[in-house]
Structure 1
């Protein structure tokens, strides 16, 4: 029985998905490459037998993961929101997991309705890499000065021009962003997690922030240099770019009318 022949309804659907980004060329569709958006659109179009365009809360780069990516699409018919997750779990590949779905009004937009995002970056700090975590963390075995890293991170909170912390070819003309927190959390095994929460992020911004903080922790950049790095508005002034596989889109927040944070922290 086709989806169209089943009892169904149209409208705008918001879906929260998690994915392992290791085998994707990022979120955004690219001709001839496997991407999260491309897989979602192909799956939904085949399921509903009409072309479906998926809009995401933001683009993650090749190799970057998501705990809570948000997408929306408009459908002329299809399963009601309370069945979308179940239906898609039987159709999507194992590295994309649908988590929750809801119907939203036509004013909602997965990207433009966002009020803040949270990214988490994981650093695995034991001497020998772990085969079960290497796809999701950056192995940094050298000792890190966490006190200096936290001091440097505090200088990034607030509204700044982040030209020094984004790709030289970043497409956004306005490089000013507001950062609400850059927090370092250490677990019982000594592994480190860097949480970056802000109104929005530029291309490679979180990865450059983390790479620069690691350089601070290793002693190659002074923590008190952060204001000067920001003021330089020059990518060459900051530190390295952390590899993509340690980064995860952790949470997305919308106005209260749309439910606030999409997942509990």
Structure 2
């Protein structure tokens, strides 16, 4: 069963379960276990960090084919806290895997660089930046990062995991209200990758670093200490793409392979 999920990450310690901490996964799994009267474990498209939000998160769970399902979305709407919602729940083919069958993930990062335009109602979802940011410089530096690279300079390495990713989109726009929005898409992201990319680009946008500085770190063999990680609350996972049902198994097999350049 596929679940489409949205949450405000402000009061969560990220997606993944942690002892004695309030997490998105723990909250949903515990609620589903009560509603379905069985132990439920979720597989998610992308684990978000503490403070990161989502409007398009995807997870799946496995159930017996003959299970008697209640009207799950409405039951969960009544049982879950107000800062997390399951917007849809539907049966999918057994080859569907929320994590490994995904084609790409889409993130949105928002930052306001004028104190006068900062909206206090958006303080938990938009980063207020103390200095002006040049849109042209942000986009020029972003374009140099596109493609398949080893993003180890922008990731927190995990044992046995590759940091090679294909960055497919990194584009900045300014809204009529003055907020800068970065739309970031890749086949997958490693831990803290989006926030590290944004952190490096913000240094370019405010003029502290040259346009080619972020891309110059794509040749690094380890994460440098001077790459700043942008604040979590400006980031939201807004969508995950999947192939047609007939291609789910093939996509999952490809994703499981350890990539090399």
TM normalised by structure 1 equals 0.87
Residues 162, 233 of structure 1: 8 Å contact kept:
no
Matched, 1:152 2:171: no
1:258–1:31 CA distance, 2 compared to 1 (3 A): farther
1:258–1:136 CA distance, 2 compared to 1 (3 A): farther
1:60–1:78 CA distance, 2 compared to 1 (3 A): farther
Match of 1:99 among 87, 92, 104: 87
Measured in 2, the distance between the counterparts of 1:202 and 1:172 equals 12
Residue in structure 1 matched with residue 257 of structure 2 by the alignment: none
Structure 1 residue 75, shift from structure 2 partner: 2.5
Secondary structure in structure 2 of the residue aligned to 1:75? coil
Residue in structure 2 matched with residue 72 of structure 1 by the alignment: 60
Matched, 1:22 2:10: yes
Q: How many residues align?
A: 245
Structure 1 residue 193, shift from structure 2 partner: 0.6
Residue in structure 2 matched with residue 182 of structure 1 by the alignment: 170
Secondary structure in structure 1 of the residue aligned to 2:18? coil
Structure 1 residue 172, shift from structure 2 partner: 5.3
Secondary structure in structure 1 of the residue aligned to 2:224? helix
Measured in 2, the distance between the counterparts of 1:39 and 1:198 equals 28
Residues 172, 202 of structure 1: 8 Å contact kept:
no
Q: Which runs of 5+ in 2 are unaligned?
A: 249-261
Structure 1 residue 36, shift from structure 2 partner: 0.7
Kindly report the root-mean-square deviation, in angstroms, between the aligned alpha carbons of the 2 structures.
1.9
Secondary structure in structure 2 of the residue aligned to 1:18? strand
TM normalised by structure 2 equals 0.88
Residue in structure 2 matched with residue 116 of structure 1 by the alignment: 104
Q: Which runs of 5+ in 1 are unaligned?
A: 1-12, 261-265
Residue in structure 1 matched with residue 154 of structure 2 by the alignment: 165
